[in-house]
Amino acid sequence: MPRSNFLAVIAAATLAHGVSFAAALPIAPLTFDTTYTAPAGATIKISEGGDLQAALNNAQLGDTIVLQAGATFTGPLTLPNKTSGSGWIYVVSSDLASLPAPGHRVGPSDAAHMAKIASLAYNNAITSTKGSHHFRFAGIEFTPVSGAYVYQVIAIGNADTSPATLAHHIVFDRCYVHAAANENARRGIEMDGAYVAVIDSYISGFKDSNDAQGLWAYNTTGPLKIVDNYIEAAAENVLFGGADAKAASLVPADIEIRNNTLFKPLSLLSEIPAITVKNLLEFKAAKRVLVSGNTLQNNPSAAQTGFALLITPRNQDGGAPWSTTTDIAITGNTFINVGSGINIAGTDSYHPTIPKTVRVLIRNNILGVTGFGGADGRAFQVLEGGSDYTIDHNTIVNTAAPPRSPNSDLMMADTAATKVSNFTFTNNLSSQTQYGFFGAGAGNGTAALKADFTNWIFAKNVIVNGTAAKYPAGNFFPTSQATVFANSAAGDYTLAASSPYKAAGTDGADIGASLSGAGLPALSEPTPPPNFSVK
């Protein structure tokens, strides 16, 4: 997404409240174009049994390496650093024309038209070297050999200590990256390079007793692009941070995450505690991020408390005091069957001197909160300070209820020791929860705002069954959600035709998320496996 489009998205959250401040909005990420444009150089065809490493070594920038569909080439293969020429080296399946066209996602059923690059046990299928650049893989299956456990199938990055040595311009396009059948694997792709993209691909099967991720980056300048993929993993489907960046210039930055499906199969639950199950998306170290148009589905309370998306700054191993989570926009996403929604920590409680979380925008999302796995059922949680948080035009459908989830909230704030400064909470629509907008030790409504926030705006929110006297004036408190939604039973979370909340927002728009509508998947909790017992 170009910067101009991103700025248009977040500009819509700049609200005229007639007050002396508004929370600052995130800075846009740098993004890049990954349009498929085939090179015009030589074509190098490799059949089953051919030497793919030699082909990679000998290819010139601008060449295309065509791998026989159905053939297997075994790694580890290293992407060499080409020091002359221009353009890209493409590595493609000979049956690429039978795969979905560029801009369309592949799936496991497309593997018959792909060539396969396999990794041996405890090895990678593909690794980079210092300065590897301009490789694009299209229509390739990446997987360990049968029965092999691996730490990661694809490793881009070499624990670089300077941006100068980063691998760069590496794209995985319509690829199928997965664990070996009936075998654990730690990770799909490490994305620690500059201008690295995973697009229109299918990432699945990653689970382990330790944290397992589909995609991961911790040591890169970015930009990174993750667009239109299915991504499945047991711990964090996608993670930024979790290990110490080697320099302040290598905190992951300029990250674009759009139109993906982040999914946890319910079958994972029957493997707990042998595998670790955590969340769908987490930022421990990240700057300038757009998360837009994604579906995040199935997130129980297990090894964590059930939040689907976390912004939690961490100097993970104590060697990266430059770790930070700043300038993150979460817009236009749908959360389905999540124990709780979004958790923001302003401070690393273990290393409190690192930079605080600043400039977070959460706008135009639907959160289907169910208390899955015994989670508390909190749509939002903010902890330990931070500044410039905007939560605007979201629709929360919260079905978490006692006895399993006795503490469901629209917001749980626990920041009294270090308040959040510059906080905007406007135009949100929430179904019934137990405690509404709540502050730990303070109560709900205005008491919570005064205890946990400074320079706050709280206006034009609809809180079903809230108590008006406890909240600032200018908000709405219907007694039944049946009078709010058009037809929630059919998945239509638009406002009812006769709703008084139409065009009632601070900006003249309908209260709630504008992407709401008929045809959305059911936001309630499906039946888990029979041998999974909730808390």
Phi, psi of 458 (to 5 degrees): -135, 100
Q: Are residues 63 and 182 both part of a single domain?
A: yes
The distance of Cα 420 from the centroid of its chain, to the nearest Å, equals 23
Which uninterrupted H or E stretch holds 449? helix 446-452
Q: Is residue 89 part of a domain?
A: yes
3-state secondary structure of 298: strand
Q: How far apart are CA 121 and CA 144, in angstroms?
A: 7
Q: Are residues 129 and 260 both part of a single domain?
A: no
The pLDDT of residue 12 is above 50: no
Mean pLDDT along residues 294-305: 96
**So what's the pLDDT on residue 7?**
47
**So what's the pLDDT on residue 402?**
83
Q: Are residues 176 and 286 both part of a single domain?
A: no
The pLDDT of residue 485 is above 90: no
Q: Are residues 73 and 7 both part of a single domain?
A: no
Q: Are residues 169 and 266 both part of a single domain?
A: no
- What Cα–Cα distance (Å) separates residue 282 from each residue in 240, 286, 289, 518? 6, 10, 12, 29
Q: Is residue 101 part of a domain?
A: yes
Q: Are residues 12 and 39 both part of a single domain?
A: no
**Residue 43 structural domain:** 32-222
Which uninterrupted H or E stretch holds 57? helix 52-58
Q: Is residue 229 part of a domain?
A: no
**So what's the pLDDT on residue 532?**
58
- Per-residue pLDDT tens for 376-399? 999 999 999 999 999 999 999 998
Q: Are residues 190 and 255 both part of a single domain?
A: no
Query: Number of structural domains, the chain?
Result: 2
Q: β-pairing, 437-439 with 443-444?
A: antiparallel
Q: Is residue 236 part of a domain?
A: no
Q: Is residue 409 part of a domain?
A: yes
Q: Are residues 154 and 251 both part of a single domain?
A: no
Q: Are residues 327 and 303 both part of a single domain?
A: yes
Domain termination residue (choose one: 222, 254, 272): 222
Q: Are residues 169 and 293 both part of a single domain?
A: no
Domain termination residue (choose one: 222, 252, 272): 222
Mean pLDDT along residues 492-514: 89
Most confident of the following: 1-10, 13-22, 193-202? 193-202
Q: Is residue 234 part of a domain?
A: no
- Per-residue pLDDT tens for 303-331? 999 999 999 999 999 999 999 999 999 99
Q: Are residues 48 and 16 both part of a single domain?
A: no
Q: How far apart are CA 183 and CA 205, in angstroms?
A: 9
Q: Is residue 446 part of a domain?
A: yes
Domain termination residue (choose one: 170, 189, 222): 222
Lowest mean pLDDT among 131-140, 277-286, 401-410, 447-456: 401-410
3-state secondary structure of 302: coil
Q: Is residue 56 part of a domain?
A: yes
Q: Are residues 153 and 66 both part of a single domain?
A: yes
Give the pLDDT band of residue 81 (cuts 50, 70, 90): very high
